[in-house]
Amino acid sequence: MKAIFCTQYGPPDVLQVREVEKPTPKPNEVLIRIHATTVSAADCELRRFDFPGWVWLPVRLWFGLLKPRVRVFGQELAGEIEETGEEARSFKKGDRVFAATGMGLGAHAEYICLLETPMGGAMARMPSNLSFEEAAAVPYGGGEALQFLRKANIQSGQKVLINGAGGSFGTFAVQLAKCFGAQVTAVDSTLKLDMLRSLGADHVIDYTRADFTDSQETYDVIFDVVRNSPSRRMVRSLRENGTYLTANPGFAELMLSLRTSMTGKKKVILGVQSGTNKDLEYLRDLIEAGKLRPVVDRQFPLEQTAEAHRYAESGQKKGNVVITIAPHGHDPCAGDNP
C-alpha cells in the first residue's frame, strides 16, 4: 500500500510517498480502507516540530529525538471496514466509519488498523449524508472543539467569542456554540468572514483591522484557537466568572492558569482529553439533523500531501484541507462539499 512517510523534521519536502506492507488487524482491531484524511495545523506543527519551549523536550523524546518515531502522520479519516479481528464486536465488514486515530497517527495511508476505541482517539459510523471527504474533516477538529466547549458549560444566551474561528477547530466551535444557544462572535481574517457568517456567527471581527481586546465588550467564554494576542488581555475581556479556553497553550498560559485559579473567579482551561466514540456519535446526529457541517476548503490526492501541508500552514485555509486517498465513484447517499 501507499503511505506518506515523514523522513525527518522540517519543511513539507521531508514528506515522501512510499510503498509499505498492508497491515493485518490484531484480534481486537479493525482494518480500514481509508478513502479520505486531512492535513491539520497540528500535522504541520509536528512535521516542523514547532512546540512551545516548556514542552519541547518531553514531546521530542516521545515522538523521536533525531527523527520522527511515528513516520506516518494523519489524525483523522473516513473509510470502510475491510476486515475485523476475531474479538472486534462494534463494527462489521463494509461499515463506513470516521475516526480520530489518537497518538498513533497513521491516517496518511491507504489502510490503517485501529482499536474499536483508539487510544486517545475515537471511531463511529460516519454520517449518512456526508461524503468520505466531508466526514474525514469531522473527528479531530469537531471532537476537540466539542470537548473544549463542554468544559466551559455554555448556557443559552451567553456571549462566546472564538478567536481563530476560520480553521478546523474554529468552524466547528462556532456551530457548536450556536447549538448550545450562545451568541457567537467569530474572529479571523478578512477572507474568512463571509464563511463564518454562513456558519451562524452573530458577529464577526477582522483581526487585521481591529483587536477585540481593545474593546470594552466582554464575553462569558473566549475560545482561543490561535493564541495571536497576549492571553492576559483576553482574560481581561472576560466577564466575572468567565472562562478562557486555549487550544495551544504556552508557558505564559500555564502561569496565567495557576495565577487566575488562585486569585480570581475567572477560569483558564488549557486542555482537555480527545473526543470519544460517543462524542463522534453526537456529532454525527447533529450533522444528520442539519445542525452541523464540516467546511472543506481544498482537496489534494495522496501524492500531493506535501502541497497540502504548504497550503494548510499558509494561513489561508478555510476550515479543512482534505487528502483523497482511495478513488471511488459517485455515492448517491453522499452530500456535496460545502
pLDDT in tens, 182-227: 999 999 999 999 999 999 999 999 999 999 999 999 999 999 998 7
Alpha carbon of 303 to those of 5, 197, 309: distances in Å? 11, 34, 12
Look at residue 255 in the predicted model and tell me its pLDDT.
Answer: 62
Q: Are residues 309 and 196 in the same domain?
A: no
254 Cβ neighbours under 8 A, 6+ residues apart: 54, 270
Q: Residue 327 — pLDDT band, cuts 50, 70, 90?
A: low
What CATH number should be reported for the domain holding residue 33? 3.90.180.10
Q: Are residues 174 and 219 in the same domain?
A: yes
Cell numbers linked to 168? 478546523
Q: Are residues 133 and 174 in the same domain?
A: no
Is residue 106 in some structural domain?
yes
Alpha carbon of 336 to those of 133, 236, 296: distances in Å? 10, 42, 10
Q: Are residues 74 and 89 in the same domain?
A: yes
- On whether the CB atoms of residues 243 and 266 are closer than 8 A, the answer is yes
Average pLDDT estimate for 94-108:
95
Average pLDDT estimate for 254-278:
74
Whether the per-residue pLDDT at 272 is higher than 70: the answer is no
Is residue 91 in some structural domain?
yes
pTM exceeding 0.85: yes
Hunting for cell 466551535 — which residue is that?
173
- On whether the CB atoms of residues 334 and 98 are closer than 8 A, the answer is no
Look at residue 256 in the predicted model and tell me its pLDDT.
Answer: 65
Q: CA-based angle 146:40:152, to the nearest 5?
A: 20
Q: Are residues 22 and 58 in the same domain?
A: yes
- On whether the CB atoms of residues 149 and 169 are closer than 8 A, the answer is no
Is residue 68 in some structural domain?
yes
Look at residue 273 in the predicted model and tell me its pLDDT.
Answer: 66
Domain boundary among 252, 269, 286: 269
Question: How far apart are alpha carbons 200 and 177 in whole angstroms?
Answer: 10
DSSP secondary structure letter of residue 214: G
259 phi/psi in degrees, rounded to 5: -65, -45
Q: Are residues 130 and 212 in the same domain?
A: no
Is residue 274 in some structural domain?
no
Is residue 329 in some structural domain?
no
Whether the per-residue pLDDT at 337 is higher than 80: the answer is no
For residue 29, give its domain range: 2-138+294-324
Q: CA-based angle 333:338:286, to the nearest 5?
A: 65
* Averaged pLDDT of the chain: 90
Q: What is the share, in percent, of the chain residues with pLDDT greater than 90?
A: 74
Hunting for cell 468567565 — which residue is that?
242
Hunting for cell 515523514 — which residue is that?
6
Q: Residue 89 — pLDDT band, cuts 50, 70, 90?
A: very high
pLDDT digits (tens, 9 = 90+) for 116-128: 999 889 999 999 9
Q: Are residues 189 and 174 in the same domain?
A: yes
Q: Which of 51-60, 76-85, 114-123, 231-240 has the highest mean pLDDT?
A: 76-85
What does the DSSP assignment read for 14-36? Answer: GEEEEE-PPP---TTEEEEEEEE
Q: Domain tally for the chain?
A: 2
Is residue 163 in some structural domain?
yes
Whether the per-residue pLDDT at 18 is higher than 80: the answer is yes
Look at residue 230 in the predicted model and tell me its pLDDT.
Answer: 74
Look at residue 58 in the predicted model and tell me its pLDDT.
Answer: 82
Q: Are residues 211 and 262 in the same domain?
A: yes
What CATH number should be reported for the domain holding residue 174? 3.40.50.720
Q: Are residues 49 and 100 in the same domain?
A: yes
Is residue 275 in some structural domain?
no
Q: Are residues 58 and 107 in the same domain?
A: yes
pLDDT digits (tens, 9 = 90+) for 229-256: 777 888 899 999 999 998 876 556 566 6
Q: Are residues 24 and 110 in the same domain?
A: yes
Is residue 156 in some structural domain?
yes
Look at residue 266 in the predicted model and tell me its pLDDT.
Answer: 85
Q: Are residues 226 and 320 in the same domain?
A: no
Q: What is the CB neighbour count within 10 angstroms for residue 207?
A: 17
Q: Residue 299 — pLDDT band, cuts 50, 70, 90?
A: very high
Average pLDDT estimate for 293-298:
97
Whether the per-residue pLDDT at 333 is higher than 60: the answer is no
Whether the per-residue pLDDT at 334 is higher than 50: the answer is no
Sheet holding 267-269, edge to edge: 203-206, 183-188, 159-163, 219-224, 238-246, 267-269
Cell numbers linked to 106? 497513521
